[in-house]
C-alpha cells in the first residue's frame, strides 16, 4: 500500500483533492486514501454495479454542486479522484497521464517480484 501511496502522492498533494479510490474491474477496492474525513467507509459497499456501469468509459469528469469526481480507466481498474470544484482538471489529467504507465509497471512487477526478492 505504501508503494501505491507514493504513486498517488502528486495527486493527493494537489490543493483541493479530497481523496483517491482505485477499484479493480470487479469492484474491489485496491487502494484508498482520504485527505478529509468522510461520513461513511466505502469498503462496506458493493461497488460492482458502479464499476460495471463504467464499462467502455476512458475518462469522465462529474461536477456536482459541492464537489467534483474525476474517473479514469487504468489497466488494473478505475481511478476515482474526489475533489473540490476549484481543482484545475488539466493538472489532474496530466498527473494521471504520468501515473498510468507507473501503475502498469507496478502491476507487472507484482507478478514477478516474489521471484526476484533479495535475501537479507
10-residue mean pLDDT profile of the chain (120 residues): values are 79 93 89 78 68 84 92 92 94 92 66 45
Residue 16 CA to residue 7 CA, distance in Å, equals 18
DSSP letter at 79 equals E
The tally of domains found in the chain comes to 1
Cβ neighbours of residue 53 closer than 8 Å, sequence gap 6 or more: none
49 part of a folded domain: yes
Q: pTM of the full predicted structure? A: 0.78
Q: Name the residue range of residue 106's domain.
A: 2-115
17 part of a folded domain: yes
120 part of a folded domain: no
What CATH code is carried by the domain that includes residue 85? 3.30.450.30
60 part of a folded domain: yes
* Spatial contact of 45 and 112, defined as CB atoms under 8 Å apart: no
40 part of a folded domain: yes
User: DSSP assignment of 25-63, as one string?
Assistant: TTS-EEEEEESS--SS-GGGS--HHHHHHTTT--EEEEE
pLDDT at 45: 67
* Spatial contact of 14 and 72, defined as CB atoms under 8 Å apart: no
52 part of a folded domain: yes
pLDDT at 103: 80
Residue 94 in grid coordinates = 496530466
Q: What is the CA radius of gyration of the chain?
A: 15
Nearest Cα to Cα of residue 51 among 81, 85, 28, 74 = 28
111 part of a folded domain: yes
Amino acid at each position: 500500500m505504501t508503494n501505491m501511496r507514493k504513486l498517488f502522492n502528486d495527486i493527493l498533494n494537489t490543493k483541493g483533492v479530497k481523496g483517491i479510490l482505485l477499484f479493480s474491474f470487479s469492484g474491489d477496492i485496491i487502494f484508498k486514501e482520504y485527505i478529509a474525513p468522510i461520513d461513511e467507509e466505502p469498503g462496506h459497499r458493493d461497488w460492482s454495479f458502479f464499476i460495471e456501469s463504467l464499462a467502455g468509459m476512458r475518462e469522465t469528469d462529474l461536477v456536482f454542486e459541492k464537489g467534483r469526481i474525476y474517473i479514469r480507466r487504468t489497466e488494473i481498474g478505475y481511478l476515482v479522484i474526489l475533489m473540490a470544484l476549484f481543482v484545475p482538471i488539466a493538472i489532474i489529467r496530466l498527473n494521471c497521464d504520468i501515473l498510468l504507465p507507473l501503475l502498469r509497471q507496478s502491476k507487472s512487477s507484482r507478478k514477478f517480484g516474489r521471484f526476484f526478492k533479495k535475501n537479507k
